Amino acid sequence: MVCYYYHMVASVGARFSMANPSALRAEHSMAPDLSSDHSVFRGGSSSSPIRRRDLVFVVNPRGADGRTGKEWKKLLPYLRSRLANDYSIFESLTSGPSHAIDITREAIREGADAVIAVGGDGTLHEVVNGFFWDGKPVANQKIEAVHSTALGLIPLGTGSDFARTLGWKNDPCEAIERIARGVQRQVIMLQGTRNLATYAMLLVHCKLLLGIITRTLESRSAFLEVNGGEWQKYSQVTALCIGNAKYFGGGMKITPNADPHSGSFEVVILQDFKWYDFILKLHKLYNGTHLSLKNVTSRNVYTIEVDDISGGGSIFIQSDGEHLGFLPRKFSILPAAIEMIC
């Protein structure tokens, strides 16, 4: 069993569980409505428009080889001064892999208005997974609260590829301004399922660049079923990348047409790539011009099922740098998108 401690950082030295929200109440003006196109992070019900909102920052102190933890400490005074008038601020430091998932689920159940990942793509990936349980959104268990929980991000990782897709820099002060403005937009998520009922809905990925590559960079044939159509054989597949965001691997623009605000994702298939292709064509992979190569295919998809022709189950899948298991796997758009503070 995992224990959660939210450290309230808006007032010095207090440790706080949101199970006692009365300690948080205060009257403050709302963040201004900056956009008519996108919803603004309000958090409260219409009957309590000036409710103080709870922000839970999920910080991976080990992100970027420990830089995230150090930067976070330096950032806290500014974060407090910028946000504490309007928000109740809690921090929770992760103790190891997957902890961010548990913290996020607990925060949502406790009625947090936003959970903000502080770290890199791996941390964001875990926080997004915390928004779901068994393929369904985690529900806020506070009877009086009608708001849903928004997702936020302070990109402080090594690659921070999801932030890159949104055009954001690894600049925490900019991120705090975004949180202060509170404009939200929907981002689509991918869900991955195994082809067995018992494995249904293994994970929901956030940035959703999935690299499916053979361990040794040898090319293998694969069966693909795209958008519910016929199964097709693709020979000599070296890598198959699925993205709702453009980048992976620290700036490689692998799925250049992907857009997390759209309703679909992009699949890019590299066939018969030799090790030297990854050197000679690396610049194309980084600037997104690899789609013009003859052995690269790109498709706009809603669902895709991928199976290893050999059936050996040895082709591994990774998402946002995390190892997710092996083929076969089906990926589709998750119907419930997340509202992200943009």
Ligand X SMILES: Nc1ncnc2c1ncn2[C@@H]1O[C@H](COP(=O)(O)OP(=O)(O)OP(=O)(O)O)[C@@H](O)[C@H]1O
Nearer to ligand X, 153 or 304 (CB): 153
DSSP labels for 130-175?
A: HTEETTEEPPP--TT--PPPEEEEEE-SSS-HHHHHTT--S-HHHH
Residue 63 binds ligand X (CB under 6 A) = yes
Nearer to ligand X, 102 or 126 (CB): 126
Catalytic residue among 54, 102, 113, 121: 121
Measured CA to CA, the distance from residue 143 to residue 39 in angstroms comes to 23
Residue 21 binds ligand X (CB under 6 A) = no
Among 133, 251, 322, 326, binds ligand X (CB under 6 A): 322
Residue 219 binds ligand X (CB under 6 A) = no
* Shortest separation between residue 45's beta carbon and ligand X, angstroms: 33
* Shortest separation between residue 160's beta carbon and ligand X, angstroms: 5
Residue 207 binds ligand X (CB under 6 A) = no
Annotated catalytic residue 308: no
Reduced to 3 states (helix: H, G, I; strand: E, B; else coil), residue 223 is strand
* Shortest separation between residue 88's beta carbon and ligand X, angstroms: 24
Residue 157 binds ligand X (CB under 6 A) = yes
- C-alpha neighbours within 13 Å on the C-beta side of residue 80: 14
Residue 321 binds ligand X (CB under 6 A) = yes
* Shortest separation between residue 137's beta carbon and ligand X, angstroms: 22
Among 35, 39, 148, 158, binds ligand X (CB under 6 A): 158
Nearer to ligand X, 17 or 158 (CB): 158
Strand 87-93 to strand 53-59: parallel, antiparallel, or no bridges (unpaired)?
parallel
Residue appearing with tokens 């404009």? 183
**Which of the residues 85 through 104 are near ligand X (CB under 6 A)?**
94-97, 99
Residue 159 binds ligand X (CB under 6 A) = yes
* Shortest separation between residue 246's beta carbon and ligand X, angstroms: 14
Residue 193 binds ligand X (CB under 6 A) = no
> Using CB atoms within 10 A of its CB, is residue 219 exposed (0-12), middle (13-18) or buried (19+)?
buried
**Which of the residues 239 through 268 are near ligand X (CB under 6 A)?**
none
- 165 CB contacts (<8 Å, ≥6 apart)? 207, 245, 246, 247, 258, 260
* Counts of helices then strands in the chain (DSSP H, E): 7, 22
37: tokens are 């196109």
Q: Please report, as a single letter, which amino acid is at residue 151.
A: L
Residue 123 binds ligand X (CB under 6 A) = yes
Among 9, 56, 64, 340, binds ligand X (CB under 6 A): 64
Number of other residues whose CB lies within 10 A of the CB of residue 256: 17
> Using CB atoms within 10 A of its CB, is residue 264 exposed (0-12), middle (13-18) or buried (19+)?
middle
* Shortest separation between residue 73's beta carbon and ligand X, angstroms: 15
Q: Which residue number has the CB closest to ligand X? A: 120
Among 62, 164, 185, 220, binds ligand X (CB under 6 A): 62
143: tokens are 């009877």
98: tokens are 């997957």
CB 128 within 8 A of CB 189: yes
CB 41 within 8 A of CB 32: no
Residue 130 binds ligand X (CB under 6 A) = no
Active site residues: 121
Residues near ligand X, by CB under 6 A: 60-64, 68, 94-97, 99, 119-123, 126, 157-160, 321-322
